[in-house]
């Protein structure tokens, strides 16, 4: 189900009947059930794949990154991108704390990726999938990824693994 949030399509009675929170993303499964929240969706879709570690500690680390993505990354990187790319604001119009926390999130990623691997060891997991989504377009939010070379290299590794151009 594709909706235009700028046109208020997440506030229609049909959408709200499926997703009372009125948020995107939301997926409607083949059996008609709706599932929302990006990380819940990718966990559902990734079930049984190699993207979810078997080792309990590595799986917990994957969840740690998924929770961090929702609390410490997406609220800054994605919000800055939305305001610049979709609302037409200038970077100087952004709340300074938003930019500061976005940079801190990218610095945290750079630190975690300094060894040249993935977020949870040496293989791709849902943590990488979740975090690469907004990170790879952080430039649209005014963040210069050239300042974070380990992040740029990781983006290239994830895109290669997922065959994304």
Evaluate whether residue 45 is within a structural domain.
Answer: no
Report residue 149: phi and psi, to 5°.
-60, -35
Q: Can you read off the two tokens belonging to residue 87?
A: 């609302």
Clarify whether residues 99 and 130 are in a common domain: yes
Evaluate whether residue 147 is within a structural domain.
Answer: yes
Evaluate whether residue 44 is within a structural domain.
Answer: no
Clarify whether residues 28 and 61 are in a common domain: no
Evaluate whether residue 116 is within a structural domain.
Answer: yes
Evaluate whether residue 78 is within a structural domain.
Answer: yes
Each residue's pLDDT tens digit, 65-117: 999 999 999 999 999 999 999 999 999 999 999 999 999 999 999 999 999 99
> Which residue bears the tokens 């709340």?
95
Each residue's pLDDT tens digit, 17-73: 787 777 878 899 999 898 988 999 999 999 999 999 999 999 999 999 999 999 999
Count of Cβ atoms closer than 10 Å to residue 4 Cβ: 9
- Domain with residue 145: its CATH number is 1.20.1050.10
Clarify whether residues 32 and 63 are in a common domain: no
Clarify whether residues 28 and 109 are in a common domain: no
Evaluate whether residue 90 is within a structural domain.
Answer: yes
**Overall domain count for the chain:** 2
Clarify whether residues 60 and 128 are in a common domain: yes
Q: Can you read off the two tokens belonging to residue 50?
A: 């190699």
Evaluate whether residue 46 is within a structural domain.
Answer: no
Long-range contacts of 47-54, Cβ-Cβ distance < 8 Å, separation of 24 or more: 50/123, 50/124, 51/124, 51/125, 51/126, 51/129, 52/125, 52/126, 53/120, 53/121, 53/125
Q: What pLDDT score was predicted for residue 17?
A: 79
Evaluate whether residue 42 is within a structural domain.
Answer: no
What range defines the domain where residue 64 resides? 56-162
Clarify whether residues 24 and 62 are in a common domain: no
User: What is this structure's pTM?
Assistant: 0.88
């Amino acid at each position: 189900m594709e909706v235009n949030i700028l046109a208020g399509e997440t506030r229609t009675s049909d959408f709200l009947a499926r997703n009372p929170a009125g948020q995107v993303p939301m997926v409607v499964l083949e059996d008609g059930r709706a599932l929302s929240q990006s990380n819940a969706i990718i966990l559902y879709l990734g079930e049984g794949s190699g993207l979810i570690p078997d080792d309990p500690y590595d799986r917990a680390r994957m969840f740690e990154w998924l929770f961090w993505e929702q609390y410490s990354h997406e609220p800054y990187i994605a919000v800055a991108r939305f305001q610049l790319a979709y609302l037409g604001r200038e970077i100087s119009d952004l709340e300074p704390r938003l930019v500061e926390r976005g940079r801190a999130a990218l610095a945290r990623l750079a630190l975690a990726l300094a060894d040249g691997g993935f977020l949870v060891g040496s293989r791709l997991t849902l943590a990488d999938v979740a975090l690469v989504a907004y990170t790879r377009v952080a430039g649209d939010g005014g963040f210069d990824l050239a300042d974070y070379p380990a992040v740029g290299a990781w983006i290239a590794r994830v895109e290669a693994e997922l065959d994304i151009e």
